[in-house]
Structure 1
Amino acid sequence: MLNQPRKISHSDSIISQFTKQAVPFLRMSQHSNQYGLNLVVKLSDPKYDDTVLDVACGPGIVACEFAKIVNHVIGIDLTPAMIEQAKHLQNEKDLHNIDWRVGDVSKLPYKDDSFSLIVTRYSLHHLINPSEVITEMYRVCRPGGRILVVDVTPPEVKKNAYNYVEKLRDPSHAEALTFIELKRMVESKGFININTESQDLEMNLESLISSSFPNPKNKDEIIRLFKKDISSDILGMKSYLKDNEKYFFFPVSLIVAYKPKQSI
């Protein structure tokens, strides 16, 4: 009997995609956008005695930013190539208070109440079950501690079109939630005292496509949809032309929420 080809899981797709993206993701200036990093720090208000977990840490950009301020940071990511880039970034910045781990963020390998601050940025839209990850973040958060979730949140009426074009560009994309959906998900886990911020993150379309390695047959359709967005606002991404190049904005939401000091 012939061996049947192994079905590619979504986790396989994430690892494949982000192994290719590891270096360009780190080098893309928008991911290290200082305004966005300043928002992350301002909203989560890290202190020296915080112990921070960066969930789906990617190449370590956010973890390294927190490591400048807090006592200790751990970054965990499913993709080994991303962790390798994170280690390189840590060395470049001469930071000595970060540990890295390859692991499944839907089953965090940490005890209950382990961290005072838990962060995840630009990860949830890649996950089949983001609610499961928020549940895990609640579990490992100390009473009185907080989480910070940063992700792209398209407008409700543009959500389907947004997710369609993003899946064309990046096969590891699962679903981007609206701001209301994301906020309700956080609230449903028992978090309280929620504060939010937003950011329009500008991107050059050609640069993003070249760094995310979509199927070549999808490139023309991606460009067509962004061209239509310029004239008709079908994606909710405020696309526009500058010097004959297409630019757009990712609509990003930041949500910080606290775990009650006593269980509710």
Structure 2
Amino acid sequence: MKKNEHNRSIIDQFTKQATPFAELKFHSNQSKFQLMYDLSGVNKDDTVLDIACGPGLVTTAFATKAKHVTGIDITPAMIEKAKEIQKDKNLENITWKIGDVTNLPFDDESFSMVITRYSFHHFIEPEMVFKEMKRVCKKGGKIMVVDVAIPPEKRNAYDHLEKLRDPSHTHACTLEELLDIADKLELTNIKTQWYKLEAELEKQIKASFPNPGDDKKIRKLVTEDIGRDNLGINAHLIDGSIYFDYPTVILVAVKPK
């Protein structure tokens, strides 16, 4: 898929998802934010860039810990939702920008920390985005990527499922791929930590906008995977409802001085 066509797909999907995405409680789980704080070591001296920030859930969370946070996203509706959340939280140390994260509109070494969450599986060229994150990060600064990471042998099945749910999905990276990119970029002090993000299937489908008929395919695939885990998401039942886990990795690295 060409870049412009893919960007249109992202904007289409996330214009519709802006409000429901922000309202899914598991996206604002405080224990998961705490893991990000702890692994990144964010503090009041940090100037942070949150790329592909969506409705600003991570941006506003980090704004409570950092000196200043800038959030950038390609979808105007997401930025508008982010501004609403910022206002509700009464935070002033935030700047918002609309833009393409594959070519960040910032000077080299502009931020002490550059972060992103749940975005890499939407990028056609994740290595290019990772490279841009390094470029705008100060020497000695930290880069953090948080995303679903699927075992290699299960990724094709998982990608098929996610493309049904969200046509703007490209592919889920494996941990090995993320580590390989970090190595190519000569980043140092690499740390990783896993967590599981549990989601209820029907709520996730409702918050997404699959093409007509694909919701039935999603239900069938996930239901049939209970007890098998060929999709890598540990589909399971709780009180008669189907749940699953997004296996998520936090990767933090340092840009050498």
Q: Report the TM-score range of the alignment, normalised by the length of the smaller protein.
A: over 0.9
**Cα distance in 2, alignment partners of residues 247 and 187 from structure 1:** 35
Q: C-alpha distance in 2, partners of 1:230/1:184?
A: 32
Q: Which residue of 2 aligns with 1:141?
A: 137
Give the one of 76, 81, 103 matched to 2:72.
Answer: 76
Does 2:67 match 1:106? no
The TM-score with structure 2 as length reference comes to 0.97
In the aligned structure 2, how far is the partner of 1:252 from the partner of 1:58? Answer: 18
Structure of larger gyration radius: 1
State percent identity of aligned pairs.
Answer: 51
Residue in structure 1 matched with residue 179 of structure 2 by the alignment: 183
Q: CA deviation at 1:8?
A: 7.2
Following TM superposition, by how much is the alpha carbon of 1:216 offset from its aligned partner in structure 2, in angstroms?
2.2
In 2, Cα distance between equivalents of 1:202 and 1:24: 17
| Equivalent of residue 156 in structure 2, options 160, 164, 173 | 160
How many pairs does the alignment contain?
Answer: 255
Q: Where in structure 1 do 4 or more consecutive aligned residues deviate above 2 Å?
A: none
Amino acid at match of 1:210: K
Aligned to 2:27: 31
Greater alpha carbon shift after TM alignment, 191-200 vs 213-222: 213-222
CA contact (8 A) 1:54 1:74 kept: yes
Residue 195 of structure 1: aligned partner: 191
Deviation at 1:173, TM superposition (A): 0.2
| Counterpart contact for 1:229–1:236, Cα < 8 Å | no
Match of 1:3 in 2: none
Contact (CA 8 Å) 1:228, 1:234: kept in 2 or not?
no
* Equivalent position to 1:128, from 102, 124, 129: 124
Q: Residue 16 in 1 paired to residue 12 in 2?
A: yes
Q: Counterpart of 2:226 in 1: which secondary structure?
A: helix
Instruction: Give the match for residue 201 of structure 2.
Output: 205
TM-score (structure 1 length as normaliser): 0.95
Query: Shift of the alpha carbon at 1:27?
Result: 0.6
Q: CA deviation at 1:231?
A: 2.9
Question: For 1:232, what is the secondary structure of its paired residue?
Answer: coil
**Structure 2 stretches lacking a partner, 5+ long:** none
Name the CA distance, whole Å, in 2 between partners of 1:44 and 1:212: 30
1:52 aligns with 2:48: yes
Structure 2 Cα separation of the partners of residues 91 and 165 of structure 1: 36
Q: Distance in 2 between matches of 1:40 and 1:197?
A: 9
Deviation at 1:212, TM superposition (A): 0.5
Q: Structure 2 residue aligned with 1:222, among 206, 218, 221? A: 218
Secondary structure in structure 1 of the residue aligned to 2:221: helix
CA-to-partner distance for each residue in 1:128-151, whole Å, 9 max, x for gaps?
Answer: 111110000010010000111000
- Alpha-carbon distance in 1 for matches of 2:136, 2:4: 30
State the AA in 1 paired with 2:155.
K
Aligned partner of 2:231 in structure 1 is: 235
Q: Distance in 1 between matches of 2:222 and 2:83?
A: 35
In the TM superposition, residue 90 of structure 1 has moved relative to its aligned partner by 0.5
How far is the alpha carbon of 1:205 from its aligned partner? 0.4
Quote how far apart the aligned CAs of 1:89 are: 0.5
Whole-Å separation in 1 of the counterparts to 2:19 and 2:76: 12
Equivalent position SS for 2:134: helix
Question: CA offsets per residue over residues 174-196 of structure 1, 9 Å max, x none?
Answer: 01011111121122112111011
Deviation digits for residues 161-184 of structure 1 (CA, Å, limit 9, x no counterpart): 000100011000001011111121
